[in-house]
Amino acid sequence: MSDGPKFTLALRVSDADVDRQGHVNNVAFVRYVQDVAVAHWRSIAPADMQTAFTWVVRRHEVEYLRPAFPDEELLLRTWVGEPSGATWERFTEVLRAGEDKPLVTARTVWVLLDAASGRPRRVDAAMVAHFAK
């Protein structure tokens, strides 16, 4: 995985995210991956950039390593890899607070869209510069 600047979001597991086996459902983990990506984007992109562009997922690759349980505090850590045309890979780790060993790792490919037309737009140097901070 690439080792660019990382963004971290903390969350507490809600009962709604827990399945019949008593641990966080896989679908909830995918939502966490998306939620931290959106939070990262909103934290670094200026308002005009957020208005002009939007992102859609092209691919999720998720590896479930260890379970998470009700009411645990989790840390969602994400960072971007290399852009290519209109796509940009992003990496995410979900960790239990106070631990270094991931519960879940993910590589996601996002497509940048022009918000007005809905068409793919090349990731340019100005956008890359915002994520490098």
- Edge-first strand order for the sheet with 102-114 is 7-12, 73-84, 87-96, 102-114, 53-64
CB atoms within 10 A of CB 67: 16
Residue 85 phi/psi, 5-degree rounding, is 65, -120
Reported as a pLDDT band with limits 50, 70 and 90, residue 39 is: very high
Q: What is the pLDDT of residue 65?
A: 98
Q: What is the pLDDT of residues 25-37, one digit of tens each?
A: 999 999 999 999 9
The reported pLDDT for the residue numbered 2 is: 53
For residue 133, pLDDT beyond 80 = no
Cα dihedral: 80, 81, 82, 85 (round 10): -50
For 74, the token pair is 């989790």
Distance from C-alpha of 45 to C-alpha of 50, rounded to nearest angstrom: 6
Predicted model pTM: 0.93
Helix, strand, coil % in the chain, rounded to nearest 5: 25, 40, 30
Domains and CATH numbers, the chain: 7-131 (3.10.129.10)
* 65-116: pLDDT as tens digits: 999 999 999 999 999 999 999 999 999 999 999 999 999 999 999 999 999 9
Q: What is the pLDDT of residue 1?
A: 47
Separation between Cα atoms, residue 31 and residue 71, nearest integer Å: 17
Helix (H, G, I), strand (E, B) or coil at 60: strand
